[in-house]
Chain A
Amino acid sequence: MTTETGIGASVRRKEDKRFIIGKGRYLDDITKPGQTYGYFVRSPHAHAKINNFDATEALNAPGVVAVLTGPDLEADGIGPIICGWGITSKDGTPHKAPAHPALAIGHVRYVGHQVALVVGETLQEAKNAAELVEIDYEELPHVVEVGDALAEGAPQIHADVPGNLSFDWELGDKAAAEQAISNAHHVTRMDLRNNRVIPNAMEPRAALSEYDMGTDEITLYTTSQNPHVHRLVLSAFNGVAPEHKLRVIAPDVGGGFGSKIFIYSEETVCAWATKKLNRPIKWTAERSEAFLSDAHGRDHETHAEMAFDSYGKILGLKVSTKANVGCYLSTFASAVPTYLYGTLLNGQYTMPAIYVEVQAGFTNTAPVDAYRGAGRPEATYVVERMIEIGAREMGIDPGEIRKRNFIAPDAYPYETPVIMTYDSGNYALAMDKAQEAIEYQGFEARKAESAQRGKLRGIGYSSFIEACGIAPSAAVGSLGAGVGLWESAQVRFNPTGSVTVFTGSHSHGQGHETTFAQIISDQLGVPIDQVEISHGDTGKVPFGMGTYGSRSLAVGGSAIVKAVDKIVEKSKKIAAHTLEASVEDIEHAHGVFSVAGTDKKMTMAEIAFSAYVPHNYPADVEPGMDETAFYDPLNFTFPAGTHIAEVEIDPETGTTEILDWVAVDDFGNVINPMIVEGQVHGGLAQGIGQALLENCVYDKESGQLLTGSYMDYCMPRADDLPTFRVQTINTPCTTNPLGVKGCGEAGAIAAPAALMNAITNALGKEIDMPATPEKVWRAAQDL
């Protein structure tokens, strides 16, 4: 039964009312009595030694409460910022993660590096005093690009990391891949650059910390995608407070895209300093601080070789990547270019042999970590550019070569050579639908029409796959994760029949308050306006792992289903007692419990009331209707699909116009099609942004961030984007109870390859991202 508010309905987002009327409660909207303001003194240099630090004058400035430094943190036993995923190098040694104090001690290693916290009665006073802090820096040689950092003779960033190499990791069968390449009919060889991007969530990172001397409890409000992970790390590793004395609240959060997963210096310092000063402290990043110090994304230099037989069947793939991890290893930085990247290099294809090696290098730049897609866009970019170029070199149609290589719909579960087991998919169906939607047969005529107007038209494919719903604890644990990746849910009926669901997932734009409520409404027949979704407060919700990797519905939603199952099981006992039937005879559908073969029934609301007012109640059942479940998935989910982009280039100026974009995605079952479409649109905007507009540039000479504001860092605007034509196909995931796969990252994963394939198809030659007008013009003019 599909209802207007059940599974499959495009219910309007419940949360939007408060956002639209300006009643959203973001971090900077929260104020505490006696609040002070924190301002961070940051390094103006890419690499320098701190010879002297003098805050005397700053401390005497009006309104200054404190100036706190790295040595102060160290003296209080506050541990360094950690990386939570251990990677083992080829030689069996663990990755090198140099100590990362939350405030610099002795050295600064990138422009924007946090050196001191100035706390003032007002923000203005804190900023005024920050200018009076005198720091004697001795500049040291720096390096900003990973290729340079890993080269012989590069400046050394950390004394204990020779050659700036954090790890040299591999996956797959090297000998088999090399054998495939040496025996191949054709080998495509390419150097590919996956450009560095800056996440740019609309709400900048922020923290507000408060200490209660009476209870000895610290409350930290922070812009987090995973408040319990923040609490765990701040407690267990940084030693800010014991877990039961630390409450982390992530209120309305305005976008994350990965950048708010991580435990950063700023909130760590604020959480510690509030107790030290016994004053609430608020810090809100300015946009320029966000550019400088949010964890950036991507930044790979890759050489790839793909081997084909004469029919265009892929025989093997060998990939060598240098990944820039910035100056320190951020929370999940080590997992992104390894297990979230190498494991997806199989794409949608049968590839008998794959080998990937990744060298992760430190540079004098901001840390690099997960950004929408995290590793999977990089993998898709390699696979989908290589197969497209291979098709061109071999004279095979790019759609046809993919069809020749697709894993067949009856081949599941399908084990890849890079340790993934795909549960389900129908890749040819998505391709067929995409080709039909874009009218692929008519492309040559459209290209000829463009040529008559002096324009270059191109078409490009991306048949992407991703692993999301991150994911089974045992699996990620065996690969080095320091945490489990299950999710929690608590479904609490109130006596009058309304429901509060507490979820360990965290919504920072995804629409959980609607999608999760639809699950409850559908399965328990509760009107959707009587379902409240509560998240983001460690003081309210059970321990949960948060939202990233398109996991909220597949993992968090499944936890809700498990809790609902417990509610149903208990309700059946109550209904059986009340209706004087046996439990086995009670049938349940959408919140109505009936005795099989009779017209005797009870509604969920009646049962909930009975559970709280148990006057006539089964002896062996506890009162109350409040069930908690934890769900650990059996596998990742594997959303996949085909996107086709069609572009037109003006060769005189190098401008690329995206004329059409078709996306056919297999997300398994869909709860709310409207929200899914919105997620795809957002992902596409970011993926297109990366391929066409966005580029993080550090100046090699000075180490300064040249793209430190919207004057130079080009965020996509609405008029940069075409009207997207989005469809889904629905091959249910076989490993979770909802059959859902996850949709949050698909657009960002698929888009760059589709767009670059279209642009290079139009140009007839290869260029790297981003396809800026000048780069395209040079290619079009043969310069």
Chain B
Amino acid sequence: MIKSLSKGIRQDGRKLEDFREVSVEYGASKSAEGSARVKIGDTEVIAGVKMEMGEPFPDTPDKGALMVGAEFLPMASPEFELGPPGIDAIEIARVADRGIRESGAIDLSKLCIKEGEKCWMVVIDVCTINDAGNLQDTTALAALAAIKDTKLPKLEDDGKVNYKEKTDQGLPINCLPIAVTVVKIGDSFMVDPIIKESEFLDARLTVTTLDDGTICAMQKGGVSPLTVDDIDKMVGIAAEKASMLRKSLG
């Protein structure tokens, strides 16, 4: 595999910097306030947003709250088991969370209803339907798409949320942070790894970027260290591929 990769050939015939086909379908779950089904190749996830009324965190009394969870449903792979999220699901959710949070993609200050007492909580859950590799990028993209699709439910005068009535008000979105994972195997860099490729990776770097190339979150994984040159190269690839994924959001 390392030999053929050094010649730029991948198992499924793709070039190193090719993604599989990407599709985004909005409104995948009518029960959610916002939702999307994202497919990258055979990898498929559904993300849904629930808008809840809650209390602001003590350190951000004037802001709404944001939570991202990733559910590796045992339906999606023979490797996934029932039970609380394992470390892989936690990492993927936290990396997706950081991209959205640190980029300021949602203007959380607009989601505060009453300082220190009441605010909207944006709860994003991303459920895997089929795992065929690169759940990180698929999950992050789906979380973002679900936010884009969200319409706030009606807030009644008594302060309760009426889930039966959606308003036409969306979430205050500032920018679209896109996560791209670049994988290093031997001396080759590639994107959108299938499961086989992930098993052989020496290092990976997930880079979340905005449309002007600004980095807003990163996560290194894998056992091998990376040189500064490696990192610079990987950031460049991630930013370039991000623009393609951003377009898929329509």
Q: Do A and B bind each other?
A: no
